[in-house]
Structure 1
Amino acid sequence: MRTIFRSSPRPGAGGHSRAILFTLAQCVPFAIALLVLGIEFSPAHFLYTGPLLTATPALAAVTMGPRGTISAAALALAVSVTTATYNQAWGSQQVYSNLLALLVVSVASVATSSAVRTRRENELNQLRRIAVAAQEVILRPVPARLGPVRAASIYLAAETGAQIGGDLYEAVETRYGVRMIVGDVRGKGLPAVRAAAAVLGAFREAAHYEDELGEVINHCAAALKREHPGSGAVDQEALMEGFVTALVAQVSDRPVVEVVNRGHQPPLVLRQGRVQTLMPSFPLPPIGLEDLITGLSGKAESYPFVPGDRLLLYTDGVLEARGRENDFFALSEAMEAVLARTPQEFLEQLHQGLIRHTQGCLGDDVAMLLVDRRE
């Protein structure tokens, strides 16, 4: 089964700058009200400050919701009443005109702010529904049982408000056994989603009729190249922006797991409480970078995988998740500490450990696919 979780990313320098500017913009209406208060209590109180107070709720409506707009309007009203009393201006037509204008603008600003917030929430909900539908197409649920294994998976998108990203996974039952893929697209946003969809589509087709795992991943590489066509010559800059680290694995009735690793994080096998890393004998480049390597061989490597073993495929967002002290997530130790009977429970506990380590702030997308060799 697949579980979807979302998280908030660690803000970058650009995000910090935008947040500071937005906070300063929210302070402007209140700063204006305090400025008017200072003018009215100073020898310069002869200046006409009514228009400044009237503009306060209107400015608040631009950057704040209804509550913030009401607060700004209330502050402006309090300043207007206080200064009129201090200057003994009650009874003049100017004071009542200012109060009436302030009241009208405040009501209009609160109404506008409420309408804008409602529209934004409706648009956000619609985008979330579209994201869920898109994810169901790109990252389909992994069945709980596939031939000789039990399976589970989770996906966590680092981008705020997102549920899909550049990580990918899939597990299908074929005549050759259970075939799986996990990958990580370089880049973010829609280009990464399109690349992930191209690779997954090729895998889902080739997994059922190619005898060799190496040929399966070659189909994925060809699909990625079609997604990012070149000019014929090797454009190294384009290649470096469009590659995908990927790993395909196969579990059949034999007590082994076959793996072709194209520049991806090595799988981990949990056997009798200890984690083993399935390192490749010959490192291979990510798919999309084949043109930089001559004599590329994609022969699968075999590793023991016996009943009771657990195999974890994951993306680098897991290992690169940083904690409060800027330390990386210790995945092997976390796997050895988890006590769970089913793959779904195992991933749930592993996910909770990851969230505790990062305090809910991921710097990159995370995908994990876990399979158990059934007894």
Structure 2
Amino acid sequence: MRALLRSPPGAGDGGRHQVLFVLAEALPFAIALVVLVIEFSPAHVVYTGPLLVATPALAAVTMGPAGTLAAAGLALGVSIATATYNHAWGGQQVYTNFLALFLVSAASLMTSRAVRTRRDIELGQVRRIAEAAQEVLLRPVPARLGPVRAASMYLAAEAGAQIGGDLYDAVQTRYGVRLIVGDVRGKGLPAVRAAAVVLGAFRESVHYERDLVEVVDHCGAALRRDAATASAGLAGGDDVLLEGFVTALVAQIPESLDVQVVNRGHPPPLLLHDGGVQPLMPTVPLPPLGLEEFISGPPGRTDSYPFAPGDRLLLHTDGVIEARDGDNAFFDLAAAAETLRDRSRQSFLEGLRQALLRHARGRLADDVAVVLVDRLG
């Protein structure tokens, strides 16, 4: 269990790598500054030519063509300034340094452009793979499912990302329409993997498990098996750091006029009924999937709420309600839902998207997943 609760491998590596990358970008300019200080001091007898020649090559490693050109221009400016200050014009060494600087700068600029082109090609491939993965993991919910109509929306917090740790799905079964909305702790590929495990278990179990609690337990067991398999397959034994838990809400809409919900540590859905907005709070709070050892009583229970024709159910992840504005205030989802209640499903979701981005000033701190369900007459 300790392996489930700790942070994923390299959780602190991201910040350290970012610092190292910034230092690497600053290195060419720092070298030019050091050369300038040496040449304008009594230590100017030290031969600094090779240091300046190396600056464009160093810039090409971490920066694009613009940064490489800037480093080359700075090196040229320092060379001219130091040659003038030290009255070195006319010497063969000065012109040799200028020629070497020109050749290295030209080669570095071409290398930087080639690297940028290759990187753009690789990024395009990654985006296409992400789009394919999204179609498998986060496919839009069907517009018509038995006694309901539905629509979904997903917004990634990270620019350019297609999928993250949020998950959702809706499936029509012999027991009724079954839906899931969840949020994986953490980010990155481990979060995507955990989302895939939970969704796979849900899509399998909804068709043969009559009890909704059993469906949820099946998802939790699949998550624990995957964590154990990953832990056993990595070096370090109990010191392996893995993604741990998933908040999830599973709902069932049968032919009867109600909705049944099992909530495992997830934000409660909102029921829009008779002009009001009501959060469907669980009778007994339960921990997320993956933390079953903290359940002291029965493994879980299904709560039932009225869900009549004309009612609307809004399932969501915490990225919606935890979005903050410039004053650090949370987004009021209930108020937004009340304002948008008379719109069609797609118009409702578009209005919610605009209100959310306007509140967060276009910068979401977490992924957002929303499923909207209307009960038919």
TM-score by length of 2: 0.83
**Paired residues, number:** 360
CA positional deviation for 1:160: 5.8
Match of residue 328, structure 1, among 309, 327, 330: 330
CA positional deviation for 1:326: 2.5
CA positional deviation for 1:295: 4.6
Check whether the contact 2:190–2:243 (CA below 8 A) recurs between aligned residues: no
Partner of 2:210: 211
Match of residue 282, structure 2, among 269, 280, 291: 280
Pair 1:46–1:185, CA change in 2 (3 A): closer
3-state DSSP of counterpart to 1:362: coil
Partner of 1:125: 124
3-state DSSP of counterpart to 1:287: coil
Equivalent position amino acid for 2:136 in 1:
V
CA positional deviation for 1:225: 3.4
- Taking only the aligned residue pairs, the percentage that are identical comes to 67
1:329-373 residue CA offsets vs partner (Å, 9 max, x unmatched): 222122223366222221222122222333343333322111122
Whole-angstrom distance in 2 between the partners of 1:371 and 1:90: 79
Pair 1:245–1:82, CA change in 2 (3 A): closer
Check whether the contact 1:317–1:364 (CA below 8 A) recurs between aligned residues: yes
| Contiguous gaps of at least 5 residues in structure 2 | 1-10, 232-237
Partner of 2:367: 365
1:183-232 residue CA offsets vs partner (Å, 9 max, x unmatched): 2233333333333222222222222233332232232233233323499x
TM-score by length of 1: 0.84
Partner of 1:59: 58
CA positional deviation for 1:116: 1.7
Partner of 2:312: 310
CA positional deviation for 1:87: 4.2
Aligned pair 1:72/2:71, yes or no? yes
Equivalent positions of 1:1-375 (< 5 A) are 19=18, 21-159=20-158, 161-229=160-228, 242-296=244-298, 298-338=300-340, 341-375=343-377
Whole-angstrom distance in 1 between the partners of 2:345 and 2:312: 8
Pair 1:19–1:216, CA change in 2 (3 A): closer
Partner of 1:9: none
3-state DSSP of counterpart to 2:47: coil
Pair 1:242–1:15, CA change in 2 (3 A): closer
Check whether the contact 2:314–2:370 (CA below 8 A) recurs between aligned residues: yes
Equivalent position amino acid for 2:165 in 1:
G
3-state DSSP of counterpart to 2:271: strand
3-state DSSP of counterpart to 1:250: strand
1:219-263 residue CA offsets vs partner (Å, 9 max, x unmatched): 2233233323499xxxx999x963332211122333321212222
**Moved runs in structure 1, 4+ residues, more than 6 A?**
none
1:77-128 residue CA offsets vs partner (Å, 9 max, x unmatched): 2332344345443332112111110111101111111122222222222222
Check whether the contact 1:290–1:296 (CA below 8 A) recurs between aligned residues: no
Check whether the contact 1:259–1:301 (CA below 8 A) recurs between aligned residues: yes
Supply the RMSD in Å over aligned alpha carbons.
3.1
Pair 1:297–1:48, CA change in 2 (3 A): closer
3-state DSSP of counterpart to 1:51: helix
CA positional deviation for 1:18: 5.1
3-state DSSP of counterpart to 2:180: strand
